[in-house]
Structures are given as structure tokens and as C-alpha cells.
Amino acid sequence: MNSGIAHEPVGFIGLGNMGGPMAKRLVDWPGGLVVCDMRQEATQPFREAGAAVADSSKDVAATARVISITVLDDAQVRDVIAGPDGILQTAGPGTVIAVHSTISDETAVELGAECARQGVEFVDAPVSGGAPGAAKGALAVMVGGSATAYEAVREPFGCWANLVIHAGDVGSGTRMKLARNLLHFVSFTAAAEAQRLAEAAGLDITALGKVVRHSDAVTGGAGSIMLRNTTSEIAPDDFWYPIMTHVRNLGEKDLSLALGLGDRLGIDLPLARIALDRLGTGLGVGTNAATGQEHT
């Protein structure tokens, strides 16, 4: 552990469904923890556990070197950082402000510039894994900021995250989170489409859900194909070509069969049609005409 960081207090502002479990794992931080939340019932357990409780964001910044923020939206983040009682009122040079709320990447860049004018480091550091991941210390956190700021936050973040990624400059953490959540919620929409097909076929859709969760836990789900460092077309002599071609062939076959079932049952499957049309291209190996043209 970097003793310079470990012996500095860390701060946590916002102790809700995500912030509370994250901050709880910092109670034993060697340099001490100072927390802030508008609700006394949220701060009381931390006070009882030995953490300091601040009345405002600027009071947190008076002592903490690394300050995490988990509030609702862009407006609240701006107020916590730059408002009349905000962190920048008291933060000294070298303080690192970390925003875990999912905000606009433009807001992150603007706040980063505002902090820099006072010699304060800013990182946008959204998380993935939900409250259960926070409670287990098993979140993924995507850090957008300087290399210096990343080094400063790596150890305290490691108390509540078991994957800490340096995504790039300020704004990059948010952009990575938005890409990750695009996959998340498109997948939810696809899950709803799959349930409609299964229901129309007279199947138990709760049993289908069990199968999906079981098999995704084994295979890794959609993340299992996210292994290349580019989305460009794959050359036939590339290591990945036979792997992605195999995935495409299986996918196009199964999507075609699902669409055929949907046609017979009178169930429209628009996402499946898009997937059949774009799967091979997305994988970088093009469409297999033998299986990919039946329902485009």
C-alpha cells in the first residue's frame, strides 16, 4: 500500500443505495474516513463505526485528500463540487475529486477544467455492479483522469472494487460506462423479446430466465466476444477469424430458426432481425450468405 495515500483521510459524499455500501468498506481506511449526507439516519452508522461526519461538502474537503461523490445527477454533482458549500471552497492543491454518479461526459470535462484551475484533480469514475457488488467489494470502476489522479485513487477504490480500470483522460470513464450500459439495456430489450417468443410458444418464461442466468454465468454472456482491441474487419489469416466465424455461423443459424418460429407463432422479433442482419459484420467477419439472408 502507498503509505502517502494510506495515511491521508478519504471522504465520501452521498450515502444512498450505492454510496452507503461503498463507504462502509472504507471505515477502516488507515488515514480515516469522513462522510457527508443530508440525512442523519444515513450518517449515524458511520459515526458509530468511528468515521467523522461533516456538515457540508466543503467540510469534507477541509481534511480529505481523495473525495468520492455518489449523488443523483449532474446538477447535484455540480453543487457538491462548485456550489456555495462545495468542495472547491476548501480543497487544497492535489486533492482528488472522484464522481461515481453516471453524468454527462461533457459535464465531467467542464468540471475537470474548473477543478484544474484550482490545482485540484478530477476523475469521473462511474461504477458497474450495483449495490450487491458494492456490498461485496466487487464493483468495476472506470476512471477518467490523469495518471497522477489514477494512482491516488487506485488503493482507496480497491476497498470497494475488484476491477479498477484507467479508461483515459477526464470524460473517458463516463464514456466507457455509457458504452457498457448501452449493452446492458439493449440486452434487457432483447430479453423481453425472447420472453415474448417463449411465452407465445407456451413455455415457462421463469424457467427460461433460469437457463439464461445459468449459461451466462458459465460463458460470460455478451462480454465473452469482447476480446479484440479493434472493431475492424478481421483478415482470414488472423487468429480471431475462425473463432468469430464460428460464433457468426452458430448465431445466424439460431437467429434464423428463432425468426422462423416467430413467423409461425405470429410474433414480431425486430431485434432478432437486426441481429441476424448485423451479427457477422459486427464480429468483423461479414455475413454468411447461406444463413444470414433468410430474414433480412
Point out the residues that are catalytic. 177
222-240: string of b/e by CB count within 10 Å (b at 16+)? Answer: eeebeeeeeeeebeeeeeb
Rg (C-alpha) for the chain, rounded Å, is: 23
Contact 152, 66 (CB under 8 A): yes
Question: In one letter, which amino acid is 139?
Answer: L
Owner of C-alpha cell 454527462: 104
Contact 112, 170 (CB under 8 A): yes
